[in-house]
Every structure is written in structure tokens, then in C-alpha cells.
A and B are shown apart, each in its own frame.
Chain A
Amino acid sequence: MIKTYFKIAWRNLAKNKKSAIINVAGLALGMAVFILIALWVWDELSFDKYHKNYDDIGQVVQTQTWNGKEESGVAVPFPLGEELRTNYGDQFKYVVMASWEGERVLSYGDKNLSQNGIYIDTDGPAMLTLDILKGSIDGLTDPNSIMLSASTAKAFFGDQDPINQLMKINQQLPVKVTAVYADLPSNTTFANIKFMAPWALYITSESWISYAKTEWGNNSFQAFAQINDHTDFATVSRNIADAKLNRVSDDAKKFNAQLTLHPMRDWHLRNKWENGQVVGGLIEYVNLFSIIGVFVLLLACINFMNLSTARSEKRAKEVGIRKTVGSPRQQLIAQFLSESVLVACIAFLFAVLLAAVLLPWFNQVAGKKLEILWTNGWFWGIGFLFSLLTGLLAGSYPAFYLSSFNPLTVLKGTFRIGRLAGLPRKILVVVQFSVSVALIIGTIVVFRQIRYTKDRPVGYDRDRLMMVEMKTSDFYGKFDVLRTQLKEKGAVEELSESSSPLTAVWSNQGGITWPGKDPALQTDFASIWVTHEFGETVDWQIREGRDFSREFGTDSTAVILNEAAVKFMGVQHPVGTTLTWNNKDYHIVGVVSDLIMDSPFRPVKQTIYFMNYEMVNWINLKLNTQKSTQECIALIEEVFSDVIPNAPFEYQFADDEYAAKFAQEERVGKLATFFAGLAIVISCLGIFGLASFVAEQRTKEIGIRKVVGASIFQLWRLLSTNFVILVLISCFVASPIAYYFLDNWLQNYEYRSTIPWWAFAAAIGGALLITMIIVSLQTVRAARINPVESLRDE
């Protein structure tokens, strides 16, 4: 019996190929998107769950008050670790201090590789429950040890046993490999950490760190902790809130340092702080996308039901015949249900294939490594259960409604679907088009914001500007040799050194004074140390005064300000003014236009450029414009490997790094485009469903109107007007909603574009155009039917 049901169902599908394809494709698309979003949401929600102590690990977040504004960050002072261990020890299982993660050069024999790693307390690996493949989890007990990730160990040692091998960090710190751990999966905070070295070693590696041991004012470290059983984060946070404040000097109390323990489960999803409180983060997108996913699926299902039922009037006759030959009602119900379940299951299979095809692209956009759970029974189980449910729901209308009819009325052709059956469809179309229109507007605004910010003048010339980080001490003292040789070979036009890369600010300083300063103003300057030719290398624009120059011996105490700094200080004639910092005087020789080194979405911070050859970490090179980039790179590499043979030659380009600052926004833009495109497709299916339903329903009326003299154009106008009205209603619903949300979104950016009126016009125009095309396809076809066909009396 079941076999017959499916056989007839299959014949019915094959008979109406076009509508079957549209129906299956629509549902499959909705399901595929739902699968992708579900995978993404699952991945985001399971972030960091790899660590077995997931529920108990936290990071100390410090909130301080600057000029009346509360700023939160994870940077904490060195002595905090010991303080928490001794005076708050009963709260914690582990307190673990750590450095920032960063690229360091590891060497084994004459093999040098730059690897991202971290210096961390001995308990770190145990707290993070690293999966030890070789060696011991206590591998960091010896201060001259290192733990490698499996991939790093493989890169250095291949199949050889790495344990007890001797390596060097940054060419200077000798370490012994004590353990190899499985690489952390990509959905963990520490995913990029390829090695861990002891905290004790870190302290001895540089002098400023050992000085920091007792400095409560130097926030340059991270503190992690695992709380004890029988306590919770709120309690611990309450208890440790003043742990720093109690120890700082009276002068520093005005910053009112408050500590909180930020749970691991919130690191990834809830990490946006405002006024000392978590106000959101990625979780907003997770929620938004979850809603969109469910919504897309729901709309696709409803469309599926619509398209199925639009054809049910045609099937009425079949029902009548089946009934007159004695088919019981249950059998009719089973027939209709098995048909729609079959379609839903086919759609699900297509959805999985479609998701698999889209996944690489989706991974790229979302920056993820998601996989379809091919071998997961739950995945298939839930998928088919869901298809069954959708099929049953979609089939229920024709199954129960049509099968209840008296065969005679159906056969006589007087049976008609009620006029009101169109109302839910109309509401559906309005909802779908509202979403589409809002998303089209959203896409336009997101891309405009990106464009607007990209077009913002950066204050220097990014073109062919190369940056090399001086990762090891081998670089020190080689600058003049490099400069002479590189210029001689014609590889570069100019080169210079600086403390931060051109696309970041690594240091901020307070406590700077100048004549006429308002004593209440808490100073806070971005500070960059540069060498003489920095200005020439990056081509900054002098607004007042002059650039640094080798001709002035006094330039070792010269500084250059950006325009934002002049504004911040409120001085009339900056050039010639003297700044005092740490009891040392600096004279201002020039003012430059603001250079965007930090976020392009924020105003440029007040910045001081100091002249110094000691504090620098980066070499900036302006490639020779007469040669190709490839040629220049080859020449530069030659010189570098000659002058500094022990360091791997690694470089970045300023324009690439600058472009990377837009990654987040471009991701939102791409996803918005994707969702907008999707919403349009689904809306089109919705309106297609409604149009075919209406055309079906009004076939007789159209025939009559033709007989009394209506032209095709007049009929098209009659049938299309309603749809245009529906879409216009959608536009009126969508526009204020879109405006509200986009205005909110733009508030995230201090440097932002406006919402242009033409975005609304374009979205509305686009929606109308699409509607007209789809509706016309249906209505013109209906209008062209020869009335002789539709008005047949038999």
C-alpha cells in the first residue's frame, strides 16, 4: 500500500515538473541555510568547551576611570598574581599569570621559525587541561623548558622524538622541550598558541619585566584563574573587586581600579564592556542569526505549504473520482501526506548537498572551519524527523480539507477554495518582503559605511610600504648597515624604525604636562618612538613647523604632535612649546595631519611622535617605485639574510594590514548580502506562490473578462495591482524598522556615514521590479489562456 502511495506521489511530481522543482528548491534552500546557521551557532556556542574546566576558568578584567569614563580591559599589573594567591587563595584552585601571546622566533639547530606563543605560569597547562601527547603536563616547572604543540613539534623534529631536545627562543633563551600537546581546536581562545614557555623564564628575559614585579601601575600582563568548587563567579568577583585598589599609591586611587573575574564561557560571546559592565559582544550576532535561521526555515516551510495548496484545487477532481470509486477517506489522507513527506525528504537531501557545496564559501565568509556532520546519527535523525514534520504539516491542508468534500460538488466543478484563503498568503508576502526590503537597505548601508571609512584619508601613503618586526635582539644595532646597503641596491626609497607598526598603537602615556595645562585634565597620549626618516618613509604631511632632521643635534629631545594632540592640549602655538614627561623636557618641532594607525572607525587619538633609536620594534621600508614589488622583496631579503642571518625574514605590507581592519565589517557586509539575496529568493517564491494561487483562483473570472473585451494588458494590470500594493505596504513596514536598526548599528562607529535616502528608494524600486517580473510571468500566462478553455461548461 505504502509503495503505491509513493509511486503515485512520484508520478504526480514528475507530471508537474516545474512546480515540483520550484517547490523542492525553495524548501531545500531554506533548510540548507538553516543547516549552515545551525552549524555556525553550534560552533560559536561550543567555543572554548574543549577545556574541561570550562565552567570554572575566568580572566581578571580591570575597570579604571579616566576623565570620568570607565574603561575595561584584560591588562593587569604583575603583583596581582601573588596578591590573589596569598590573600584570596581560598577562592581559587589556580591563579595563572601570562604574557600576551605573540610571534617569537624558535630555533633548533640552524632551523628558525617564527611561532605564536605565550609565557605562562606552571599551572597553566593543567588548568587548561591540555591533551599531552608526550612528556608531562608539569612541563613548565623547570624555568628553562618549553611545551610545543604537535604541529610545531612536527615542523621542527618531524618523526624524531622532541622530548629533551634543546631549543632557543628569540635566539637568546635556551629551553628544553618537556612536553608535546595536541593542537588546540580552532574554536578556542588559545587556538593560535603553538608553544608555551615558563613564566619564570619570561621574568628574566627582559629587564622591564623584572622591574614590573612590584609595580601596581604597570598593566602589561594577563591573569587567569580557576575558581574553587562551591563558589561562583559573582562571589569571587565581589571579593576581589578591590584587590588592586587596596595596594596602589594614594595618587593612583583616583583611577578607582575595580577587578572582575570574567568567566571563560563569556570570553568569546560576551566581551564588550561599557561602564564596567558586559554589554554584549558576538552573542548579539549569534542571537540575530539564530532568529534569522529559524525565520528563513519557517518562511520556506510556509511557502512550501502555499505552493502545495495552490495546486490542490486541481487535485479536487482527482479526489472526487477516487471517492466515487470507493476510496475511503483515510486512504486519501495517506496519499496526500505521503506525497508531501516524499517531497520534504527529497528537499532535505538536496539541502544537505547544497549546504556541503556552500560550506567552503560560508567558512571563508564567517572565518570558520565548520564541517557537515556526515557521520553524526543525530544530525540525520533530526533532519529526517524535521522533514517528516514539515511534510505532514504541508500535506495536512489538502489531505484533510479536500478529502472531506462531497465528491459530487467537487466533480461538478462548483467547488472553490474560499476567498479568505488568500489572506494568510497576503500577510506572508508582506512579512517576507518587509524582511527583504529591510535587508537590502541594510546591505547598502553596511557597504556604504565600509566604503566611507576606506575612503577616509589615512594621513600617510600606504602604497608599497613594508613592515618588518624586529623579533630578536639580532636586529639591534644593524639599522645603519641595512639602510646603507638597501639604498645602495636601490631596493627602497627610504627606511626608518618605529615602536609600533603603522597599523597599531602599542603604547599610551599619561602624566605629561605643558605650560598652561588645565590641572584637572588627565592626560593620555598615544606615543610612538620613531627614527629620523620616519616621516619621509611614510610620507606624512607636515602642517606646522618641520620634520625631524639629522641637521639638528637637539632633535633627540624633539617631538612631533598630530593635529588631534594640538586640539586635545588646547594650545595656540604648539611649535616651540615644551612638554614635560618623567622629569624630562621635550620641545615640539612640528605638527602633522592625523595618521590613522588604530581603528579607522574611530577618531584619531592625540599622539606624540618621539625621536629615539632604542625604543623601536619595527622597520618600515618604502619600496623603490622604479622596480617591481617582487624585485624589491628579493633584494631586501638578500640584504636581510646577509646582515641578520639568524632571524627568519618575515614582512607585512601596510595596506594589507590596514585592509584587515575591515574584516569584521566586511564579514557583516557579506553575510548581509547573503541574507538579503536569500530573503529575496524566498520572497520571490512567496509571491510566486500567491500569484499562482490567485491566477488559479481567478481563471474563470479572467476568462469572462476576456470574453467581454478585456485586453491582456488590462488583465495584467488588474491582477498585478494587488501585488504592488502588498509590496508597497511591506516597504512602509520595513523602512522605519531598517532605519532604527541601522542607526543603532552605525552608533558603534564614531567615524560613520549617514543613511542615505536613496538606499530606501533603491530597495523599494528593486522590490517592486522583482515583484512585477514574477507576477507578470504568472498573470500574463493566466491572461493569455483562451477563454474557450477556462469557460468550458462540461
Chain B
Amino acid sequence: MIELKNIFKWYKVGGNRTFVLKDINLRIAAGEFVSIMGPSGSGKSTLLHILGLLDEPDEGEYIFLDENVLGLKEKQRSALYKQHIGFVFQAYHLIDELTVYENIETPLIYKNFKSGERKAIVAEMLDRFGIVGKKDLFPTQLSGGQQQLVGIARALAIKPRLLLADEPTGNLNSKQGESIMELFKQLNEEDGVTIIQVTHSEKNAEYGNRIIELLDGQLVS
């Protein structure tokens, strides 16, 4: 599903290149649940952003669903992204001005779903994550765990084939974190969603079926 070949990413500071990612080669098959680990500044988030098409490497090749995405035009790439990728953040990143219901609905609007279809999908998501009773509340009225559930529901509304999560439990207490991880495992096993998560916690990493370690922008293995 995913193949990275010789990926480099750097910043220019003064005249020198500071490498964030150095010669990354990686294959991830559909249906995998991968955890990326490593200390702060090792390039985990940057790798995740490149995988999620939010960022571009300075060098290398990225094949996603048999397409060389770096050769695609902006429009095609964003279509690919809209169709297949969902994102979950550490800080949830819900829109404060919208209700739970509207937050989950937003990506569907951008995918041009009709209002009837949107209603059905949002209802299904609310039901599945047990937040039907919260649908008219605003994000600030929810606990952190509940907000992250909404964030995941929003990511899954478009039925993505790839779910990317950047420290999804980083702002949660351990109990909430556990339940989110259980949910991920269930999504991966029952729905076949490919998941890549960045995490600091060994325990959370164990939920996945493969762990990738990064150190100073290079893969350790």
C-alpha cells in the first residue's frame, strides 16, 4: 500500500542542511497497524505528515496505492487524500464554533456527499462511538477523551483506508488512552483500516503489529 524510497527532508540553516529525515526506506502493507516511535525531534511527525500527503520530502519517492504521489498534481493529490486518508491529532483539533454533529459532518461536505447521505453517515458514527447524546454539544463542553472520540469519528466518516494518528493519546489520562487504543485495534482488525500512529508510549505501541523506531531522522532496525 505504501512504499517510501530514499526519502530525505532537510531545512537550510545558514548555508548548511539540517536533516530531519535521512534516507528513509519503508513498506507498509494494507491492513497493518504500525507504531512509529522515537525521541523528540527524531522526525516522527514529519514522517507522518509526508505519509499523509500534508508535507513533501526534498528527495525520494513515495508510492501510495500504486501511484507515485510526488509526481501528481496538487489537485489529484488532494483528491487522493480526500478519498483515502483520515487524520487524528494529539490536540484533537476540533472546530470550536461547530457542534459535535457538525464537526463530524465537515469532511463529508467537502467530499460533496448529499445531505441525506451525510445524515446517515454521521448518525452511524455517533452511534458507533456512543456519543449520540453529545451531538449538539460544542467541543469545549466535552472531556478530552470524548473530544478525541469525536476527532476519530470525524476521521473515519469518509471511510478512509489509511488512518494516521499523531500521538492520539498524548493529552489523555491512561484510562482514556487505553480505550482509544482498544478502539484502534478493533478498527484495524474488524474494519481492515490501515493505521499508522506516532507515539511515545511503549505500551501504546504494543497495540500495533509492527514498531518502527526513528533516531535523528534515520530508521533504527
Instruction: Name A's B-contacting residues (CB within 8 A).
Output: 419, 700-701, 703-705, 707-711, 714, 786-788, 791, 793
Contacts and interface: CB of A to CB of B under 8 A. Distances in A.
A709 B54 contact: no
Contacts of A710: 106, 110
Nearest to B154: A708
B110 A793 contact: no
A704 B95 contact: yes
Interface stretch (B64-72, B82-90, B213-221): B82-90
Contacts of B5: none
A444 B155 CA distance: 54
B111 A709 contact: yes
Contact of A705 (B49, B78, B91, B106): B106
Contact of B95 (A705, A709, A786): A705
Contact of A708 (B49, B106, B166, B167): B106
B55 A707 contact: no
Contact of A709 (B82, B93, B166): B82
Nearest to A708: B107
B146 to A, nearest CB: 17
B55 A704 contact: no
B54 A787 contact: yes
B97 A701 contact: yes
B21 interface: no
A413 to B, nearest CB: 9
A707 B91 contact: no
A786 B89 CA distance: 15
Nearest to B96: A701
Interface in B17-75: 49, 54-55
A377 B87 CA distance: 65
Contacts of A788: 49, 54-55
B110 A786 contact: no
Contacts of B166: 793
A708 B105 CA distance: 10
B85 to A, nearest CB: 9
Contacts of A705: 95, 106, 110
A704 B93 contact: yes
B54 A704 contact: no
B49 A793 contact: no
Given A788-B54, A793-B90, A711 B95 contact: no
Contacts of B95: 701, 704-705
Nearest to A707: B87
A786 B106 contact: no
Interface residues of B, number: 25
A223 to B, nearest CB: 75
B174 to A, nearest CB: 19
Contacts of A786: 54-55
B198 to A, nearest CB: 11
Nearest to B155: A708
Given A705-B110, A793-B91, 19 more contacts: A701-B96, A704-B94, A705-B95, A707-B87, A707-B93, A708-B87, A708-B155, A709-B78, A709-B81, A709-B82, A709-B107, A709-B158, A786-B54, A787-B54, A788-B49, A791-B91, A791-B93, A793-B89, A793-B170
B141 to A, nearest CB: 16
B98 to A, nearest CB: 9
B164 to A, nearest CB: 10
B95 to A, nearest CB: 5
Interface in B76-130: 78, 81-82, 87, 89-91, 93-97, 106-107, 110-111
5 contacts: A704-B93, A708-B110, A709-B110, A791-B93, A793-B91
Nearest to B94: A704
B151 to A, nearest CB: 10
A72 B114 CA distance: 75
In the A-B complex, the 5 residue pairs with the smallest Cβ-Cβ separation, listed nearest first, are A708-B107, A709-B110, A709-B82, A710-B110, A704-B93
Contacts of B55: 786, 788
A793 B167 CA distance: 10
A701 B139 CA distance: 13
A786 B106 CA distance: 19
Interface string B152-193: 001100100000001100100000000000000000000000
Contacts of A701: 95-97
Contacts of A711: 78, 110
B200 to A, nearest CB: 13
A700 B93 contact: yes
Nearest to B157: A708
Which of A700, A705, A709 counts the most B-chain CB atoms under 10 A from its CB?
Answer: A709
A23 to B, nearest CB: 29
B14 to A, nearest CB: 19
B62 to A, nearest CB: 16
B86 to A, nearest CB: 8
Contacts of B93: 700, 703-704, 707, 791
B108 to A, nearest CB: 9
A711 B95 CA distance: 17
A51 to B, nearest CB: 67
Nearest to A715: B110
Contacts of A700: 93
A707 B78 contact: no
B111 to A, nearest CB: 6
Contacts of A703: 93
A295 B93 CA distance: 43
A706 B45 CA distance: 18
Contacts of A419: 97
A419 B138 CA distance: 15
